[in-house]
């Protein structure tokens, strides 16, 4: 209870004088310049995997948390320092649990192994009316065997011992369901990297035109694909269009990423695949982060040199890994050779087995077959 007096609201205190802040121009005039960021600034950075700070020239720093990782400690191993932003595995995992490769989102969702899905994804052509359906496409490899027999009968009975070895067509897997699984594994890898399947060289607007791909521009000349080998090359291309794929399967390895292994016995000199993708001038890709570019043309005039870029379109060749050129064990892994040929006046890159390959064996070739520029010292 009040003591009887009237309660009155007291008067508000007089406002104090406003505080005067310095202008940004005044602050900048009096501020001392920051010291230069030198190598010593990162002297305490350690690799999060091996805990070593050595070989700092191969130490990647995350653009978000500044944690460091050696190129060779990452899984999969990074080939070179990326030119753009790079985020460590911890930061990427916080972005929704997705993996990234070359700053593109990559999800490892298996492609549905269904005949209709496979046919649509690889744009498998329908068989001609003259050929029974059960002998075509993903149904049977008997059409390939028939072609193989006809080619054998057409060859001369006596062969010279000095005759050059010919490229052999691949033999597809007999089990139709297994062929679906093989093609499904490739579709999974391509889909994860957002790459469209293409079994041909592609010429896109703003890149090199088809006219730029002239084998006559090759410095020192380019070997011409022999007539019999060209027939084998065209036969294999036709087989793939029908869904008759080589006995290969794409698997994911924590160290190597996507890689290819034999799903059946492959003989020496067997055609594996053509290396395909977008054709572009080398000068346009000198600072590109794509780790799968392939030399197509080494021109006398370097401004006309061409490369194959399978970052948007490509085939199984994009997932075949390279050997470590710096170790004997690495060189022993090589079971393919990469050869550039003049085919009807255009440069083409073919991958061919250079020895017998056993089922389950992974496929490798020398990335530095023509130039010693690709960094392979960290390859496993």
Residue 11 lies in a domain: no
Residue 376 lies in a domain: no
CATH number of the domain enclosing 92: 3.30.40.10
Of these ranges, 46-55, 93-102, 236-245, the one predicted with the greatest mean pLDDT is 236-245
Residue 214 lies in a domain: yes
Residue 37 lies in a domain: no
* pLDDT over 90 (residue 250): yes
Residue 148 lies in a domain: yes
CATH number of the domain enclosing 125: 2.170.270.10
Tell me the average pLDDT of the chain.
79
* pLDDT over 80 (residue 80): no
Instruction: Let me know whether 63 and 196 are in one domain.
Output: no
Instruction: Let me know whether 125 and 57 are in one domain.
Output: no
* pLDDT over 80 (residue 238): yes
Residue 337 lies in a domain: yes
Residue 256 lies in a domain: yes
Query: For 13-38, how does the pLDDT look when each residue is reduced to its tens digit (9 = 90+)?
Result: 555 555 666 777 777 777 776 656 55
Instruction: Let me know whether 176 and 307 are in one domain.
Output: yes
Owner of token pair 């040929």: 341
* pLDDT over 80 (residue 291): no
Q: Choose the weakest-confidence range: 42-51, 54-63, 131-140, 196-205.
A: 131-140
Instruction: Let me know whether 85 and 196 are in one domain.
Output: no
Burial class of residue 18, CB neighbours in 10 A (0-12, 13-18, 19+): exposed
Q: Choose the weakest-confidence range: 69-83, 91-105, 364-378.
A: 91-105
Instruction: Let me know whether 79 and 136 are in one domain.
Output: no
The answer to whether residues 336 and 364 touch, using CB atoms and an 8 Å cutoff, is yes
Residue 289 lies in a domain: yes
Of the candidates 376, 318, 112, the residue with the CA atom closest to the CA atom of residue 198? 318
Instruction: Let me know whether 172 and 79 are in one domain.
Output: no
User: Higher model confidence: residue 342 or residue 157?
Assistant: 342
Query: For 33-69, how does the pLDDT look when each residue is reduced to its tens digit (9 = 90+)?
Result: 665 655 555 567 888 888 888 887 788 888 888 888 8
pLDDT for residue 266: 97
pLDDT for residue 144: 47
User: Higher model confidence: residue 46 or residue 357?
Assistant: 357
Give me the mean pLDDT over the 232-252 stretch: 95
Instruction: Let me know whether 68 and 216 are in one domain.
Output: no
Instruction: Let me know whether 51 and 139 are in one domain.
Output: no
Alpha carbons 168 and 82: distance in angstroms, whole number: 39
User: Higher model confidence: residue 199 or residue 367?
Assistant: 199
Instruction: Let me know whether 63 and 183 are in one domain.
Output: no
Instruction: Let me know whether 318 and 174 are in one domain.
Output: yes
Instruction: Let me know whether 72 and 164 are in one domain.
Output: no
Which tokens go with 24?
A: 């940004």
User: Higher model confidence: residue 329 or residue 209?
Assistant: 209
Query: Residue 70 is part of which domain span?
Result: 42-97
Could you tell me the pTM of the whole model? 0.70
Total domains in the chain come to 2
* pLDDT over 60 (residue 157): no
Q: Residue 249 in 3-state DSSP?
A: strand
Percent of the chain with pLDDT over 90: 44
347 - beta bridge partners? 342
Q: Residue 253 in 3-state DSSP?
A: strand
Owner of token pair 């896109």: 204
């Amino acid at each position: 209870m009040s003591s009887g007096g009237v309660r009155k609201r007291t008067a508000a205190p007089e406002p104090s004088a406003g505080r005067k802040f310095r202008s940004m121009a005044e602050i900048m005039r009096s501020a001392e310049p920051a010291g230069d960021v030198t190598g010593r600034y990162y002297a305490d950075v350690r690799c999060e995997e091996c805990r070593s700070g050595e070989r700092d020239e191969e130490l990647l720093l995350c653009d978000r948390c500044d944690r460091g990782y050696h190129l060779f400690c990452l899984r999969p191993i990074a080939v070179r320092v990326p030119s753009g932003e790079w985020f460590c595995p911890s930061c990427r995992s916080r972005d929704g649990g997705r993996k990234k490769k070359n700053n593109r989102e990559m999800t490892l969702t298996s492609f549905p192994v269904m005949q209709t899905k496979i046919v649509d994804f690889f744009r498998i052509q329908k068989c001609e009316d003259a050929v029974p359906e059960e002998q075509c496409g993903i149904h049977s490899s008997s059409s390939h065997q028939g072609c193989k027999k006809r080619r054998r009968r057409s060859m001369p009975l006596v062969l010279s011992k000095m005759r050059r070895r010919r490229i052999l067509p691949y033999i597809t897997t007999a089990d139709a369901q297994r062929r679906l699984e093989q093609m499904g594994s490739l579709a999974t890898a391509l889909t994860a990297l957002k790459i469209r399947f293409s079994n041909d060289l592609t010429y896109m607007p703003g890149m090199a035109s088809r006219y730029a791909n002239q084998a006559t521009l090759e410095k020192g000349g380019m070997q011409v694909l022999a007539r019999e080998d060209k027939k084998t090359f065209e036969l294999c291309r036709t087989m793939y269009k029908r869904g008759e794929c080589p006995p290969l399967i794409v698997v994911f390895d924590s160290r190597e990423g996507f890689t290819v292994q034999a799903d059946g016995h492959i003989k020496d000199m067997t055609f594996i695949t053509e290396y395909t993708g977008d054709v572009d001038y080398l000068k346009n890709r000198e600072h590109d982060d794509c780790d799968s570019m392939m030399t197509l043309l080494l021109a006398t005039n370097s401004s006309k040199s061409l490369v194959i870029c399978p970052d948007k379109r490509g085939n199984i060749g994009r997932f075949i890994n390279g050997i470590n050129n710096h170790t004997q064990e690495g060189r022993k892994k090589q079971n393919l050779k990469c050869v550039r040929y003049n085919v009807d006046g255009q440069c083409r890159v073919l991958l061919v087995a250079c020895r017998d390959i056993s089922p389950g064996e992974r496929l490798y070739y020398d990335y530095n077959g023509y130039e010693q520029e690709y960094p392979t010292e960290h390859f496993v």
